[in-house]
Structure 1
Amino acid sequence: MKLGTSGGFRLDQELDRNWLTWGLLCWVAVVLWFLWDRQGNIYWLALGDTDDNMRLMQVRAWLGGQGWYDLTNYRLDPALGGFNIHWSRIVDLPIAGLILLLQPFIGTAAAEKWACGIAPLLPLSIAMLGVGLTVRRLVAPISWPIAFIVLMGCTSTLMMFAPMRIDHHGWQLACLAMTVAGLADPARARGGATVGLSSAVSLNIGLEMLPYCLMAGAIIALRWIWDREDVRRMQVYGLTLAAGCSGGFAAFASYANMAMRCDALTPVWLTVMLAAGGSLFALAWINPANRWVRLGLAALVGAAIAGGFAGLFPQCLGRPEGVSPELQRVWLDNVREARPIYRHAFDAAFPIAALPVIGVIGAAVATWRARHGDALVGWAAITLFTAFAGLMLLWQIRAGPAAQLLSVPGSTALVWIIVPWCLRQRWMAVRIIGSVLAFLLVSGLFAGFALKYLPRDAAKPSKAGVNRSNQASAACARATSMNMLRAIPPSVLFTHVDLGPRLITMTAHSGIAGPYHRNGRAILDVHHAFGGTAAGFRPIARAHGAQYLLICPNLAETTVYRARAPQGFYAQLARGYVPDWLIPVQLPKGAPYRLWRIDYAMPNGPEPDWKRPAPSATPSADRHSGFPNGLIADS
Structure 2
Amino acid sequence: MTGRVLDWHAFVRTWHAVVAVWLAYAAVRLALQPLLGWEPVDPDDWARLLQVRAWLDGQPFWDVTQYRMNPPQGFSMHWSRLVDLPLAALMLLVGETAAMALVPLLWLLAALFALRAIMVRLDFPPLAFAFGLLVLPLFPMLPATFAPMRIDHHAPQAVLALVCVALLIQNSRWSAIACGLCAAAWMVISLEGLPLVAVLAALYGVRYLVGERALLPWFLGSLAVSAAALAYGTRGPLVTTYCDVLLPGHLLTFAAAAVISAIIPFLPWQDRLAGRAIALTGMGLVCLQLAFALLGPCATNPMAQLDPVLQEWWHGFIAEGLPIWKQSPSVALTLVWTIGIIALGWWRAHCRGLFHQGGALPCTLLFLFAMAAGGYSLLVMRESVVAQLLAIPFAALLMARYLPKARTIAAPLPRIVATLAALGLTTPLFASAFAAPLDDLAPRAGMAPDVRALMEDGSCDYSRLAALEPGLVAAPFDAGLRILGKTDHTILAASYHRNQAPMVDLLTTFTGSVEQARAILSRRQVDYVAICGAAGDVALYRSAAPGNFANALVSGEIPRWLVLDERVSQGALRVYRTAF
Q: State the TM-score, normalizing by the size of structure 2.
A: 0.90
Residue 344 of structure 1 deviates from its aligned partner by 2.6
**Contact between 2:451 and 2:539, CA under 8 Å: does it hold in 1?**
no
Choose which of 76, 94, 97 in structure 1 pairs with 2:69: 76
Q: In structure 2, give the amino acid aligned to 1:133.
A: A
Q: Deviations over 1:531-577 (max 9, x none)?
A: 33323323322333311111222432234434444443334434443
| % identity of equivalent residues | 27
Aligned residue runs from structure 1 range 5-24, under 5 A: 5-6=2-3, 10-16=7-13, 19-24=14-19
2:430 equivalent among 443, 447, 459: 447
Secondary structure, in 3 states, of the residue corresponding to 2:538? helix
1:383 is matched with 367
Q: Give the counterpart of 1:184 among 151, 158, 169.
A: 169
The answer for the alignment partner of 1:509 in structure 2 is: 489
1:278 corresponds in structure 2 to 259
Q: Which secondary structure does the structure 2 equivalent of 1:84 belong to?
A: coil
Which one of the candidate residues 17, 29, 33 is aligned to 1:38? 33
1:461-610 aligned within 5 A: 475-476=459-460, 481-588=461-568, 590-600=570-580
Q: 1:358 & 1:565 partners in 2: Cα distance?
A: 45
How has the CA–CA distance of structure 1 residues 544 and 270 changed in structure 2, closer, same or farther, with 3 Å as cutoff?
Answer: farther
Name the SS of the counterpart of 1:28 in structure 2. helix
Instruction: Please tell me whether residue 332 in structure 1 is matched to residue 329 in structure 2.
Output: no
Q: For each residue in 1:309-341, what CA deviation from the matched residue of structure 2 results, as whole angstroms up to 9, or x when unmatched?
A: 222222113323463342334432232222223
Secondary structure in structure 2 of the residue aligned to 1:38: helix
User: 2:45 matched to which residue of 1?
Assistant: 52
Q: Which amino acid aligns with 1:528?
A: T
Give yes or no for the alignment of 1:312 onto 2:294: yes
DSSP-derived class of the 2:499 partner: helix
The 10-residue stretch of structure 1 (536-545 or 426-435) with the greater mean CA deviation from structure 2: 426-435
What's the secondary structure of 2:305's corresponding residue?
coil
Structure 1 residue 27 corresponds to structure 2 residue 22: yes
Which secondary structure does the structure 2 equivalent of 1:115 belong to? helix
Which stretch shows the higher mean deviation, 287-296 or 111-120?
287-296
Native 8 Å contact 2:484 2:491 kept in 1: yes
82-91 vs 140-149, which deviates more?
140-149
In the aligned structure 1, how far is the partner of 2:365 from the partner of 2:297?
A: 33
CA distance in 1, matches of 2:303, 2:334: 29
Tell whether the 8 Å contact from 2:136 to 2:143 is kept in structure 1 after alignment: yes
Q: For residue 170 of structure 1, what is the aligned residue in structure 2? A: 155
Return the offset for 1:419: 4.3
Q: Does the C-alpha gap of structure 1 residues 123 and 471 become closer, same or farther in structure 2, counting only changes over 3 Å?
A: farther
Higher CA-based Rg: 1
Q: In the alignment, which residue of structure 2 is the partner of 1:65?
A: 58
Q: Contact 2:323–2:381 (CA<8 Å) still a contact in 1?
A: yes
Equivalence map 1:178-257=2 (5 Å): 178-185=163-170, 187-227=171-211, 229-231=212-214, 233-254=215-236, 257=238
Check 1:221–1:580 CA distance in 2 against 1; reply closer, same or farther (3 A cut): same
What's the offset of the Cα at 1:193?
Answer: 2.6
- Distance change in 2, residues 1:398/1:168 (3 Å): same
Question: Match for 1:55: what amino acid?
Answer: R
| In structure 2, C-alpha distance between the alignment counterparts of 1:391 and 1:321, rounded to whole Å | 20
Q: 1:457: how far off?
A: 6.3
Cα deviation for residue 446 of structure 1 reads: 5.8
Q: 1:332 to 1:14 in 2, by over 3 A?
A: closer
Deviation at residue 377 of structure 1 after TM alignment: 1.2
8 Å CA contact 2:119–2:393 kept in 1: the answer is: yes
1:524–1:201 distance in 2 versus 1, CA, 3 Å:
same
AA aligned opposite 2:466: R
Aligned residue number for residue 81 of structure 2:
89
Q: How far 1:593 sits from its partner (Å)?
A: 1.7
**Residue range with higher mean Cα deviation, 414-423 or 245-254:** 414-423
What code does the residue aligned with 2:69 have?
A: L
Following superposition of structure 1 onto structure 2, how do residues 385-404 of structure 1 map, counting pairs within 5 Å?
A: 385-404=369-388
Superposed displacement of residue 36, structure 1: 1.1
Q: Secondary structure at the match of 2:570?
A: coil
Listed one character per residue, the Cα deviations across residues 191-220 of structure 1 (whole Å, up to 9, x for unaligned) are 323421221111121123222212121111
| Contact map agreement 1:493 1:509 (CA 8 A) in 2 | yes
Residue-by-residue CA offset, 1:277-316 (whole Å, 9 max, x unaligned): 3333333454811211211221122112221222222211
Deviations 1:438-485 (A, max 9, x none): 64144316616961798666233778557668887x823xxxx12211
Seen in structure 2, the aligned counterparts of structure 1 residues 393 and 445 have a Cα distance that, compared at 3 Å, is closer
C-alpha distance 446-101 of structure 1, shift in aligned 2 (>3 A): closer
Query: Residues 463 and 487 of structure 2 are in contact (CA less than 8 Å); yes or no, is this contact kept in structure 1?
Result: yes
Amino acid at match of 2:233: A
Q: Distance in 2 between matches of 1:405 and 1:470?
A: 35
Q: 1:22 and 1:152 mapped to 2: Cα distance?
A: 17
Deviations 1:397-450, CA, capped at 9 Å, x for gaps: 222212211111211222333445667x79687996587346414431661696
Q: State the partner residue of 2:305.
A: 323
Which amino acid in structure 1 is aligned with residue 61 of structure 2?
A: W
Q: Structure 1 residue 147 and structure 2 residue 144: aligned? A: no
* Residues 129 and 431 (structure 1), Cα distance of their counterparts in 2 relative to 1, 3 Å cut: farther
Q: Per-residue CA shift, 1:143-199, capped at 9, x if unaligned?
A: 4321012223223122111101001111111111111212222x2324323421221
Alpha-carbon shift at residue 125 of structure 1 (Å): 1.0
Question: What does residue 92 of structure 2 align with?
Answer: 100
Q: Supply the AA of the counterpart residue of 1:356.
A: I
Which consecutive unaligned segments of at least 5 residues does structure 2 have?
none
Aligned length: 574
Letter in 2 for 1:26: V
Deviation at 1:254, TM superposition (A): 5.0
Q: Contact between 1:352 and 1:400, CA under 8 Å: does it hold in 2?
A: yes
Shift of 1:54: 0.5
Tell me, yes or no, if the aligned pair for 1:139 and 1:416 is still in contact at 8 Å.
no
> Which amino acid is 2:59 matched to?
Q
* Residues 322-361 of structure 1 aligned to structure 2 (within 5 Å): 323-326=305-308, 327-361=310-344
CA RMSD of aligned residues (A): 3.0
The structure-2 alpha-carbon separation of the partners of 1:285 and 1:154, relative to structure 1 and needing over 3 Å to count, comes to farther
Normalised by the length of structure 1, the TM-score is 0.83
Aligned residue identity for 1:93: L
Cα 1:469/1:348, change in 2 over 3 Å: farther
Find 2:282's aligned residue among 290, 300, 305: 300
Equivalent-residue separation in structure 1 for 2:518 and 2:414 (angstroms): 72
Q: Does 1:264 align with 2:245?
A: yes
Kindly tell me: are residues 137 and 335 of structure 1, through their superposed partners in 2, closer, same or farther at Cα, counting changes over 3 Å?
same
The structure-2 alpha-carbon separation of the partners of 1:484 and 1:434, relative to structure 1 and needing over 3 Å to count, comes to closer
The alignment partner of 1:78 has SS state of coil
Q: Which moved more, 1:439-448 or 1:174-183?
A: 439-448
Classify the secondary structure of the residue corresponding to 2:287.
helix
Contact preservation (8 Å) 2:455, 2:533: no
Larger RCO: Structure 1 or Structure 2 (Cα < 8 Å, ≥ 6 residues apart)? 2
Change (3 A) 1:435 1:375: farther
With 187-196 and 483-492 compared, the bigger mean Cα shift is at: 187-196
1:613 matched residue in structure 2? none
SS at match of 2:530: strand
Segments of structure 1 that go 5 or more residues without pairing to the other structure are 103-110, 601-635
CA distance in 1, matches of 2:288, 2:239: 22
Amino acid at match of 2:208: W
> 1:392 corresponds to which letter in structure 2?
Y
The whole-number CA distance in structure 2 between the counterparts of 1:497 and 1:28 is 36
Question: Letter of the aligned partner of 2:240 in structure 1?
Answer: A
Q: 1:531 touches 1:564 (CA, 8 Å); kept in 2? A: yes
Q: Which amino acid aligns with 2:558?
A: V
Q: Which amino acid is the alignment partner of residue 434 of structure 2?
A: L
CA distance in 1, matches of 2:488, 2:361: 56
Q: Distance in 2 between the 1:450 and 1:531 partners?
A: 34
Query: Contact 1:484–1:591 at 8 Å: present in 2 too?
Result: no
**Aligned-partner SS, 1:263:** coil
